[in-house]
Amino acid sequence: MEDEKLEKTVHFESRLDLTSLSSKLGNIKSEISKVIVGQEKVIDLIMVAMLANGHVLLEGVPGVAKTLLAKLFARAIDSGFSRIQFTPDLMPSDILGTSVFDLKTSLFTYKKGPVFSNIILIDEINRSPAKTQAALFEVMEEQQVTMDGVTYPMSKPFMVIATQNPIEHEGTYRLPEAQLDRFLLKINISYPSLEEEIIILNKEHSNRLERKQDIVHPVITALEIMELQKVIREIIVEPELLEYIAKISKRTRENSSLYLGASPRASIALLKSSKAYAAIMGRDFVTPDDIKAIAIYVLQHRVIVSPAQEMENITSAKIIGQILDSIDVPR
């Protein structure tokens, strides 16, 4: 009798099966690794953004394969791809499209711009002035374009991968805070190690193909990505970890080294990214280590360092690291 009662009361919650997710993401990494040497962490972070239905900003000096990495990632996915090269004279209509007068019907018809695709590569986003950058606000946040009072939704999945050179480089414009806030993650790409650079040279020497991306093939469809995004929403997050995320954001607002702290949108972004990162690590639940591992990439571009700290070359990433170390980790 007691055994029957125990059998009724004990309930084991079913866990998510992440086998398919791990396999498909592994295939993407394998394809990109045919060309890109190292950068495993960067590839993981781009996949985090993809799973969390967010956008990525890649920053690095010229020549570290920012654009190539974005192109290879798009090539590994069987979906629409569009590249927009930002220049100082680029107009918003060059991105979103424009209304064209049709002589046959005597009506204006909307001709869609290159932003109407699945994966958008925006190369050197900080080469264009603020007016052009502002054209991306609506499409990145709401995944739609409003033109002449008509709203045109984007096809799903929709992801923007933007590249930029460091702000101190000549001919660059600083991205507005509102624009930076639209990016889920900001990833800094550094120089390769000596060993990695030797491998790069060996690959280049032995490569007989004119275009490196020709050896990368699609391994996942747009529909499969949308299914994986649904899985991410089911990742388990304990209430203590939600409080931990809120505390991190609150500390950025109270820190004297920061002129501007993280907004509630940043907290939501950290939650979504942590769930995606946990899934990539093969778990159906988030741990404090997941949050700590992803926090700098989510928050570093959403806060502003105070002028005094900036003069001492103290970066937002360093300050966020100090904040993470100062908060008690829930156990």
Q: For each of the chain's 331 residues, which pLDDT tens digit applies?
A: 444 444 444 443 447 778 888 889 999 998 888 888 888 899 999 999 999 999 999 998 888 888 888 888 988 998 888 999 998 888 888 898 888 887 888 788 888 889 999 999 999 888 888 888 888 888 888 989 888 888 899 988 999 999 988 766 666 778 888 888 899 999 998 888 888 888 888 877 777 655 677 788 889 998 999 999 999 999 999 999 999 999 999 999 988 888 888 899 999 999 999 999 999 998 889 999 999 999 999 999 999 888 888 888 888 889 999 999 998 888 7
The residues pairing with 147 across neighbouring beta strands, listed in sequence order, are: 150
Distance CA 23, CA 37 (A): 21
d(C-alpha 38, C-alpha 18), whole Å: 25
Q: Could you give phi then psi for residue 186, rounded to 5 degrees?
A: -115, 125
Domains of the chain: 15-233 (3.40.50.300), 235-331 (1.10.8.80)
In angstroms, the Cα distances linking 177 to 56, 205, 260, 301, 303 are 15, 43, 10, 8, 9
